[in-house]
Amino acid sequence: MQPTPSPLVRTATGILAVVIFIAGLSSTDASPAATNDTCAGAMTVPASGPFPHLTPIIDVSAATTNDDPLLPDQLGDCGGVSGANLSRSVWYKFTPTVSGAYAFSLGPDTSTTISDTVLAIYTSPNGCAGPSTGFACNDDSGAENRSGLTTTLASGTTYYIVVWSVFFDNPIGVIFDVQLRVTKPAVPANNACAGALVIPASGPFPYQTPTIDTTLADETGDPVETGCAGISTRVRSVWYKFSPTLSGLYVFSSGTETATTVDITKMTLYRNNAGCGTEFVEIVNCSATEVGRAVITGNLVAGNNYYLLVWDTSPDHIIGETSLQIRVVKATAPTVTTLPAGSITSTGATLRAQINPNGVQSRYWFEWGATTNYTAINTARLLNAGTLLLTTNSAIVGFMSGTNHFRAVATNSLGKTYGADQMFYWVNNRPILTSPVRQPGGNFQFRFSGITSQLYVVQGSTNLAAAWADLGPATELGAGTFEYIHIATAGARFRFYKVRVP
């Protein structure tokens, strides 16, 4: 089918507009420095928590290093780090009411987006007037080059925490957000069998356990397990107890659908109806997901007592990777939601769906046709036995001009589920462009009406005698209205646009 062009729209551009826009940006659009850019504005961490305490997220893109003390590079893991490598610092202060070990993290358990940070702690007899004395320091704790440290603090002493970014330039797309997490680690209540955290017998499922800090957990009293393939280390364990009301297949996950930050976990499920201190019978050993977080599935009998034991596998304690949460699901047939189609062209479309395998390896496919009789079907695809809602898609060809119906279908050993019917339309229509609007920076914006979910490609030219170039797809704003913004179109006296249906 030949492309159908729309009437042409001609626009004029101007170099002067670009120059004015850039000058205005440098003077009016710059982000202000963070309020805690200096010691005087240091953000206070509550003396008594509650812990863990997460500070507000701060944009440090405009922060300076004014008022910063010398980097205590002789302390801890900051050896060899030069203060000349640091930029964009922010300050915090903390006066604990209780002496003891405290952990400070900028890692995956925070919303910090800077990929490389340095963190240092200071004391000062005269507050911000100094002199500052280095107390502790960390460059890379091991969590994606982000900083973190655990140290013992004295009650009543004020400590100043300074966080730096290891960036000097301002790369496009980088978000300079910092969030500090402060915890007071304690031995978890479920570190031993006697304190096993109870999973409700009847759910409701999926059930998410409370998040546990495993920093001070140990392996004392752990029963024997046969081990995971390729994983021999087991440290910092915590216990869970489950006595299901209903028999069936249950899935225990520490994966990405939980608040777990421990990098690689392992777990074993035991049966023990006699209680702690007696023999544990291993039911299921662990299997690792694609991200190293363990997921196990067990066929459990109502009324039996089951104990789930979960370990960290890193011999080294990594700040920012100490949180553990378990998600428990009673395995069922898949759940399926058919989503609207996308990328509709004259030769094909992308059909999409959200599918949860609900703990059992599943397969899914799409059915489509001119009516709900669905005369076409594509090849089934495999979904691993997870408990996470997944967005899937399949490119199809061979539909009819006009109305098209489709739905997603998924199946596993526990049943088959049909998603609701969805429709899309495809017609060879002629979109009409409205007059463009010149935006700051030499950009041009225009809109047109079209068919919902259909793909329209915008083409541009600076000279009608030259070839047209594809600029990209228009964006649907809803209700059949489409928009395209041509970025940075300076450099030509005239620009011409048209829209085609692929």
Q: How many angstroms separate the Cα of 358 from the Cα of each of 255, 337, 474, 500?
A: 14, 14, 37, 42
**Which pLDDT belongs to residue 16?**
22
Q: What's the token pair of residue 184?
A: 């007071």
424-440 average pLDDT score: 72
User: Can you tell me whether residue 20 is helix, strand or coil?
Assistant: helix
**336 near 410, Cβ under 8 Å?**
yes
Class of domain 33-183: mainly beta
Report the CATH number of the 193-330 domain.
2.60.120.1050
Given a cut of 70, whether residue 463 has pLDDT beyond it is: yes
User: Can you tell me whether residue 40 is helix, strand or coil?
Assistant: helix
Say how far apart CA 366 and CA 375 lie, in whole Å.
11
**359 near 414, Cβ under 8 Å?**
no
Q: Using one digit for the tens of pLDDT, what is the confidence trace for 216-274?
A: 999 999 998 776 656 678 899 999 999 999 999 999 999 888 999 998 888 899 999 99
H/E element holding 212?
Answer: strand 212-213
Q: Using one digit for the tens of pLDDT, what is the confidence trace for 91-147?
A: 999 999 999 999 999 988 899 998 888 999 999 999 999 899 999 988 876 556 788
For residue 431, the Cα-to-chain-centroid distance in whole angstroms is 38
Where are the domain boundaries for CATH 2.60.120.380 in the chain? 33-183
347-354 average pLDDT score: 88
Pick 43 or 267 by higher pLDDT: 43
**Which pLDDT belongs to residue 481?**
86
> Would you place residue 51 in the very low, low, confident or very high pLDDT band (cuts 50, 70, 90)?
very high
Say how far apart CA 430 and CA 453 lie, in whole Å.
15
Name the DSSP letter for residue 344. Answer: B
Q: What's the token pair of residue 81?
A: 């780090």
**134 near 162, Cβ under 8 Å?**
no
Say how far apart CA 293 and CA 257 lie, in whole Å.
10
Q: What's the token pair of residue 220?
A: 């004392």
297-312 average pLDDT score: 94
**Which pLDDT belongs to residue 297?**
87
Residue ranges with strand state E in 56-196: 58-59, 87-94, 100-105, 117-123, 133-138, 148-153, 159-165, 177-178, 181-183
Q: Using one digit for the tens of pLDDT, what is the confidence trace for 147-171?
A: 888 999 999 999 999 999 886 565 5
Mean pLDDT of all residues belonging to the chain: 83
Look at the pTM and tell me if it is higher than 0.75: no
Given a cut of 50, whether residue 19 has pLDDT beyond it is: no
Given a cut of 70, whether residue 63 has pLDDT beyond it is: yes
Name the DSSP letter for residue 497. Answer: E
Q: What's the token pair of residue 455?
A: 């793909």
Pick 294 or 301 by higher pLDDT: 301
Given a cut of 80, whether residue 383 has pLDDT beyond it is: yes
Sequence-distant (≥ 6) Cβ neighbours of residue 38 within 8 angstroms: 66, 67, 91, 128
Q: Using one digit for the tens of pLDDT, what is the confidence trace for 472-496?
A: 888 888 877 888 888 765 556 667 8
Q: How many angstroms separate the Cα of 307 from the Cα of each of 189, 273, 337?
A: 15, 10, 34
Q: What's the token pair of residue 17?
A: 């507009």
Q: What's the token pair of residue 140?
A: 């890379």
Name the DSSP letter for residue 83. Answer: G
Say how far apart CA 388 and CA 396 lie, in whole Å.
25
Name the DSSP letter for residue 346. Answer: S
Where are the domain boundaries for CATH 2.60.40.150 in the chain? 335-426
- Which residue type occupies 332? T
**480 near 458, Cβ under 8 Å?**
no
Where are the domain boundaries for CATH 2.60.120.1050 in the chain? 193-330
Given a cut of 70, whether residue 13 has pLDDT beyond it is: no
Given a cut of 60, whether residue 26 has pLDDT beyond it is: no
Residue ranges with strand state E in 370-421: 376-377, 381-383, 390-396, 402-412, 415-418
Say how far apart CA 92 and CA 29 lie, in whole Å.
27
Report the CATH number of the 335-426 domain.
2.60.40.150
**268 near 313, Cβ under 8 Å?**
no
Given a cut of 50, whether residue 15 has pLDDT beyond it is: no
**Which pLDDT belongs to residue 173?**
56
**Which pLDDT belongs to residue 169?**
61
User: Can you tell me whether residue 366 is helix, strand or coil?
Assistant: strand
**Which pLDDT belongs to residue 46?**
97
Q: Which residue has the tokens 């013992």?
A: 152
Q: Which phi-psi region, left, alpha or beta, contains residue 375 (left: φ > 0; alpha: ψ -120 to 50)?
A: alpha
> Would you place residue 451 in the very low, low, confident or very high pLDDT band (cuts 50, 70, 90)?
confident
Q: Which of 19-23, 34-38, 244-248 has the lowest mean pLDDT?
A: 19-23
**217 near 185, Cβ under 8 Å?**
no
Given a cut of 80, whether residue 346 has pLDDT beyond it is: no
Out of 162-166, 315-319, 343-347, 471-475, give the one with best mean pLDDT. 162-166
Measured torsion, CA atoms of residues 63, 67, 72, 76, in degrees rounded to the nearest 10: -40
Q: Using one digit for the tens of pLDDT, what is the confidence trace for 188-217?
A: 999 999 999 999 999 999 899 999 999 999
**Which pLDDT belongs to residue 455?**
74
**Which pLDDT belongs to residue 492?**
62
